[in-house]
C-alpha cells in the first residue's frame, strides 16, 4: 500500500507544510496518589496526591501530532479566562504549536481530571461547557483565523462536540477551497458537507446514519458519503485497521500494531498523518496506509503518544 521509497519522499515534505487545526481544546489533568484509608466522612477512599501532570487533549493532541512530525501548526479554539487556560497556552507554545486562541470569560477551559491510585483510575472529573460558542466569540475566532488562512495548506477539524465547530466556521473553511480533514462528532455530522474527507471510527460512522451494526460497513460508508456529498471517507476500525472509500472503491487496510497498550489518541494520529501525507503528494491509499502505520505505533505506547518522522519511516518494510 505504501513502500519505503514513497514514504521517504512524502515524509521529506512534511516540514514545509502549514496546517491549521480547528476544534475543541482540552486540558488533560492527572492526579497520581496513594490510598491508605477510607474517609471518615463518607464510604470513599482518601487519595493522598503525590504528583500532578498535564497532557494536551482533544484538538491539542492533533496539533501535537503535527508538531512532532515537524509540520508548522496553528491551533484555533477557545479557552476560559482561567488558570487552566494559561497552562494550556503555555503547553501549546512549549510544544511548538502556534495558538490562535480566543478567551471566553463566560466558559471554563475544558478540563478532564483523572484521579489515579494503586495503578487504577478511581474517577474522572470533567469541567466544561458544551454549548455552541456565542456569536461574538465565533466572530472573534474567525477574525483571528483570517489573519493566517492564506498560508495554510490543509485544515484539520478536530470536533469533540464542545461548541467550537459551528456552521458559520465550517462554511467559512469550506469556502476557502483549502483541503479539509474532519475527525467528526456524530451529533454535528450535518456540518461537514463538502469537506475533503471525514475520519469517523466505526461507532461514530454507524451513529452518523443511525443504523444498527447488522448493516455492512461498505453500505454505511456509501450512505455517509451520499448524505454529505463526500468524495472520500476513512472509517477507522480499531483492531481491524481501516476502510478507505475513494474513487468509488472500498479499500480495506489491515491494522499494523504489534502490541497494544493504550488506544486513546489513535484517531488523532490518523487524521494528522493522513492530512500531512495527502498534501505532501501522497495518494489517498498511500496516505491512509501511512496513517495506519503511525496509529499502529502510538497504540503500542503508554499514554497518548505521537510519532516522529524517523520512527514512522522505520516502521515501513
Ligand atoms: N486494538 C488495536 N490493534 C491494532 N491497531 C489498532 C487498535 N486500535 C486502534 N488501532 C489503530 O488505530 C487506528 C484508529 O483506531 P480507532 O478506530 O480505535 O480510532 P478512534 O476510536 O477514533 O480512536 P480515539 O481513541 O483516538 O478516538 C486504527 O485504524 C488502527 O490503525
Ligand atoms: Mg476518534
pLDDT at 218: 94
Q: Which grid coordinates belong to 84?
A: 487552566
Quick one: pLDDT band at residue 108, thresholds 50, 70, 90?
very high
Task: Measure 6 CA to ligand 2 centroid, in angstroms.
Answer: 27
Give domain status of residue 295, yes or no: yes
- C-alpha–C-alpha distance, residues 315 and 317, integer Å: 6
Give domain status of residue 9, yes or no: yes
pLDDT at 210: 81
To test ligand 1's pocket by mutation, which of 295, 301, 303 has the most ligand atoms within 8 angstroms of CB?
295
pLDDT at 213: 84
Give domain status of residue 249, yes or no: yes
Residues of the domain holding 87: 4-26+58-110+128-314
pLDDT at 32: 96
To test ligand 1's pocket by mutation, which of 2, 266, 312 has the most ligand atoms within 8 angstroms of CB?
266
Among 242, 247, 245, 238, which Cα is nearest to 224's? 245
pLDDT at 214: 87
pLDDT at 86: 98
Q: Is 183 helix (H, G, I), strand (E, B) or coil?
A: strand
Q: How many alpha carbons fall within 13 Å on the CB side of residue 245?
A: 25
CATH code, 264:
3.40.1190.20
pLDDT digits (tens, 9 = 90+) for 90-101: 999 999 999 999
Task: Measure 15 CA to ligand 1 centroid, in angstroms.
Answer: 26
Give domain status of residue 138, yes or no: yes
Give domain status of residue 51, yes or no: no
pTM for this structure? Answer: 0.97
Give domain status of residue 75, yes or no: yes
Torsion of CA 204, 208, 209, 210, to 10 degrees: 70
Nearest CA to ligand 1 atom 2: 239
Give domain status of residue 32, yes or no: no
pLDDT digits (tens, 9 = 90+) for 142-167: 999 999 999 999 999 999 999 999 99
Q: Write out residues with Cβ below 6 Å of ligand 1.
A: 201, 236-239, 241-242, 255, 257, 260, 263-268, 270, 292, 295-296, 299
Query: Which residues are known catalytic residues?
Result: 268
Q: Measured between alpha carbons, how far is residue 114 from residues 29, 30, 103 in Å?
A: 6, 5, 25
Domain count, the chain: 1
Task: Measure 236 CA to ligand 1 centroid, in angstroms.
Answer: 6
Contact 55, 65 (CB under 8 A): no
pLDDT at 126: 98
Contact 22, 157 (CB under 8 A): yes
Give domain status of residue 67, yes or no: yes
What is the sign, positive or negative, of the torsion defined by CA atoms of 213, 219, 225, 231? positive
Contact 294, 277 (CB under 8 A): no
Q: What is the 3-state secondary structure (H, E, C) of 56-113?
A: EEEHHHHHHHHHHCCCEEEEEEEEECCHHHHHHHHHHHHCCEEEEEEEECCCCCEEEE
Nearest CA to ligand 1 atom 23: 267
Element (H, E) at 272: helix 266-278
- C-alpha–C-alpha distance, residues 164 and 220, integer Å: 27
| DSSP code, position 13 | T
Amino acid at each position: 500500500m505504501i513502500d519505503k521509497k514513497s514514504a521517504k519522499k512524502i515524509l521529506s515534505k512534511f516540514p514545509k507544510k502549514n496546517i491549521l487545526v480547528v476544534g475543541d481544546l482540552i486540558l488533560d489533568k492527572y492526579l497520581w496518589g496513594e490510598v491508605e484509608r477510607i474517609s471518615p466522612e463518607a464510604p470513599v477512599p482518601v487519595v493522598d496526591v503525590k504528583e500532578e501532570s498535564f497532557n494536551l487533549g482533544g484538538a491539542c493532541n492533533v496539533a501535537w501530532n503535527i508538531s512532532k512530525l515537524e509540520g508548522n501548526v496553528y491551533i484555533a479554539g477557545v479557552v476560559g479566562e482561567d488558570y487552566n487556560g494559561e497552562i494550556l497556552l503555555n503547553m501549546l507554545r512549549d510544544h511548538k504549536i502556534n495558538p490562535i486562541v480566543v478567551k471566553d470569560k463566560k466558559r471554563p477551559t475544558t478540563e478532564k481530571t483523572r484521579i489515579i491510585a494503586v495503578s487504577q483510575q478511581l474517577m474522572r472529573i470533567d469541567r466544561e461547557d458544551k454549548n455552541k460558542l456565542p456569536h461574538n466569540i465565533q466572530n472573534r475566532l474567525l477574525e483571528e483565523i483570517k489573519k493566517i488562512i492564506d498560508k495554510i495548506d490543509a485544515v484539520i477539524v478536530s470536533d469533540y462536540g464542545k461548541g467550537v465547530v459551528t456552521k458559520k466556521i465550517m462554511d467559512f473553511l469550506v469556502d476557502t477551497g483549502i483541503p479539509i480533514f474532519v475527525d467528526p462528532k456524530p451529533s454535528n455530522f450535518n456540518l461537514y458537507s463538502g469537506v475533503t474527507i471525514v475520519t469517523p471510527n466505526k461507532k461514530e460512522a454507524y451513529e452518523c446514519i443511525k443504523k444498527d451494526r447488522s448493516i455492512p460497513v461498505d453500505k454505511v460508508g456509501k450512505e455517509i458519503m451520499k448524505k454529505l456529498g463526500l468524495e472520500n471517507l476513512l472509517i477507522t476500525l480499531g483492531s481491524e485497521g481501516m476502510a478507505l472509500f475513494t474513487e468509488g472503491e472500498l479499500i480495506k487496510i489491515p491494522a499494523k500494531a504489534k502490541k497494544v497498550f493504550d488506544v486513546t489518541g489513535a484517531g488523532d494520529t490518523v487524521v494528522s498523518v493522513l492530512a500531512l501525507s495527502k498534501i505532501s503528494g501522497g495518494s489517498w491509499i498511500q496516505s491512509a496506509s501511512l496513517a495506519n502505520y503511525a496509529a499502529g505505533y502510538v497504540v503500542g505506547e503508554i499514554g497518548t503518544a505521537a510519532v516522529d518522522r524517523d520512527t514512522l519511516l522505520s516502521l515501513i518494510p
